Amino acid sequence: MNAAPVSPAGAAPADSSAAQVPVIAIDGPTASGKGTVAQRVAAALGFACLDSGALYRIVGLLALERDTDLDDGPRLAALAARLQPRFEDGQVLLDGRDITEAIRREDVGRAASRVAAVGPLRAALLALQRQQRRPPGLVADGRDMGTVVFPDACLKVYLQADVRVRAERRLKQLIEKGYSANLADLLQTLRERDQRDQTRDCAPLIAAEDAKVLDSTTLTVEEVVAQVLQWYRGL
């Protein structure tokens, strides 16, 4: 979804030989650095990038704004089926509205984690995600890219990092953006979200059996990107 509109759910596949298009799946817990790594790997290879978490965040935002129950499967699935977000130059646009900042709010992240446990919503977002698989390739980040959405990905990476380090990274990001936050609250939120993402019945966060597990606790973003590229080029 790098600088490109996302095709609406239900549209024809971009390429009938989509299965031939290489996918690098990067999964992992909240704030493990997947998003940044995925973008940089995609840029290095000239691939598109799918930030699947943004889709759950958009649904979470809409549900909060419309007072929709965060576990109302049919209504959430209906919201998702009409979703036509555009991802352009780092901005996220929905029906002409710039929601780039709004979907990054902590309350929206929590709502995203709640709606993400709802099976009908996950099913409704499947086609939208798979349609992003277009030549020359796709880097997809999320929780179930390697297990459910792209089980035939040519490279699956499970990126993890110590929860305290993830909380510190998230705190730094928020402060840089001018938000107030504190480490203890962030740590608690991350633990709750990890727990919910890992224990839900539907597509829980788990490393695919054939995933390469990479712990970024003591690594820089550059080192993680280099490792993923080395794995990909060595295929």
* Chain residues that interact with ligand DC, rule: CB under 6 A: 30, 52-53, 56-57, 109, 112-113, 116, 142-144, 193, 197
Taking the complex as a whole, the smallest distance from the CB of residue 116 to ligand DC amounts, in Å, to 3
Q: How far is the CB of 58 from ligand DC (least distance, A)?
A: 10
Residue with tokens 């993402």: 197
Distance CA 195, CA 199 (A): 6
The least CB distance from residue 233 to ligand DC, in Å, is: 25
Shortest gap between Cβ of 146 and ligand DC (angstroms)? 10
Q: What's the farthest any 2 CA atoms get from each other in the chain? A: 49
Nearer to ligand DC (CB atom), residue 22 or residue 53:
53
Measured from the CB atom, is 90 or 234 closer to ligand DC? 90
Residue 210 C-beta: closest distance to ligand DC, Å = 18
Shortest Cβ distance from residue 56 to ligand DC (Å)?
3
User: 170 vs 232, which CB is nearer to ligand DC?
Assistant: 170
Q: Which residue is it, tokens 């996950």?
A: 122
Residue 233's CB is within 10 A of a number of other CB atoms, namely 10
CB nearer to ligand DC: give 86 or 110. Answer: 110
> Amino acid identity, residue 16?
S
Distance between CA 162 and CA 139 in Å, rounded?
24
Phi and psi (nearest 5°) for 138? -140, 140
Q: Nearer to ligand DC by C-beta: 53 or 85?
A: 53
The nearer residue to ligand DC, 128 or 233, going by C-beta atoms, is 128
Alpha carbons within 13 A on the beta-carbon side of 35: 14
Query: What is the C-alpha to C-alpha distance for residues 163 and 166, in angstroms, rounded to an integer?
Result: 5
> At 4, phi and psi to the nearest 5?
-145, 145
Q: Considering beta carbons, is residue 124 or 144 the nearer one to ligand DC?
A: 144
Can you tell me whether residue 159 is helix, strand or coil?
strand
Least distance in angstroms from the C-beta of 52 to ligand DC: 4
Burial 138-176 (b: 16+ CB within 10 A, else e): bbbbbbbbbbbbbeebebbbbbbbebebbbebbbeebee
